[in-house]
Chains A and B, each alone.
Chain A
Amino acid sequence: GEQVEQRPPHLSVREGDSAVITCTYTDPNSYYFFWYKQEPGASLQLLMKVFSSTEINEGQGFTVLLNKKDKRLSLNLTAAHPGDSAAYFCAVGPYAQGLTFGLGTRVSVFP
């Protein structure tokens, strides 16, 4: 089945700086790609969905890049602020059901 490796496990970022989280996956048939954010003590919230035909998505304060050739998905926090302090998870799969989640990246933003 699908295997997902997420790096780094921890990230300490100065406020205003950028940071990148990367997931590599193994199944070339994967079609569904998502990023989730989990604030301390809270549930997982959908941050961004990436369709196979989309290479770059931009949201509020972040950019997502999908490279299907290298089987790599990345999340770039473009100008970190304290509200970005959370755990981030990628989720990947060939089918809508049974996504495989990365182990997560815990991001801490400091002043």
Chain B
Amino acid sequence: EAAVTQSPRNKVTVTGGNVTLSCRQTNSHNYMYWYRQDTGHGLRLIHYSYGAGNLQIGDVPDGYKATRTTQEDFFLLLELASPSQTSLYFCASSDAFRGEVFFGKGTRLTVV
């Protein structure tokens, strides 16, 4: 069973604060993703990566940075958090060919 681990699971920060969400996958997958999930918007892709050092822009990248430090580790950075970034964030990974996306358990971020 594919494993994607996110930390922290819950985070509260203040407007203007600095937040880093972490993700590790142990599936040897090439691709890793950061999504946000909001009522009425479904899942929206923020950034993704196909390997260490690579970063691709997703559909809603504004206000987010990301970095893939190793095959296993993908980080999402919010350098000036805003209330509009209050959301449920999912990290995911997939194989380049099989296509199945495996999700972590999510991080609930609240910006007050």
Q: How far is the CA of A46 from the CA of B101 in the complex (A)?
A: 8
- Give the residues in chain B near A45, CB-CB below 8 Å: 103
How many pairs of A and B residues are in contact by the CB < 8 Å rule?
Answer: 49
Partner of B99, one of A42, A43, A89, A96: A96
Q: How far is the CA of A102 from the CA of B41 in the complex (A)?
A: 9
- Give the residues in chain A near B78, CB-CB below 8 Å: none
A34 and B101 contacting across the interface, CB-CB below 8 Å: yes
Q: How far is the CA of A44 from the CA of B91 in the complex (A)?
A: 11
Do A46 and B100 form a contact, CB below 8 Å, given A97-B31, A101-B42?
yes
Report A3 CB to chain B, min CB distance, Å: 11
Q: What per-residue 1/0 map shows which CB atoms of B13-38 lie under 8 Å from chain A?
A: 00000000000000000010100000
A44 and B100 contacting across the interface, CB-CB below 8 Å: no
Q: How far is the CA of A42 from the CA of B88 in the complex (A)?
A: 11
Q: How far is the CA of A54 from the CA of B88 in the complex (A)?
A: 33
Do A43 and B43 form a contact, CB below 8 Å, given A96-B96, A99-B99?
no
CB nearest to B6 among chain A residues: A43
A49 and B42 contacting across the interface, CB-CB below 8 Å: no
B99 and A103 contacting across the interface, CB-CB below 8 Å: no
B48 located at the interface, meaning its Cβ lies under 8 Å from any Cβ of chain A in the complex: yes
Q: What per-residue 1/0 map shows which CB atoms of A47-82 lie under 8 Å from chain B?
A: 001000000000000000000000000000000000
CB nearest to B96 among chain A residues: A96
22 pairs across A/B with beta carbons < 8 Å?
A: A32-B99, A34-B99, A43-B90, A43-B104, A43-B105, A43-B106, A44-B103, A46-B100, A49-B100, A89-B43, A96-B94, A96-B95, A96-B98, A97-B96, A98-B48, A98-B56, A98-B58, A99-B99, A101-B42, A101-B43, A103-B40, A104-B42
14 other contacts beyond A89-B43, A99-B101, with CB at 8 A cut-off? A34-B100, A34-B101, A42-B105, A43-B104, A44-B90, A45-B103, A46-B102, A49-B99, A96-B96, A97-B48, A97-B50, A101-B42, A103-B41, A104-B42
Q: Which 6 A-B pairs have the closest CB atoms?
A: A96-B99, A103-B42, A32-B99, A101-B43, A44-B103, A43-B103
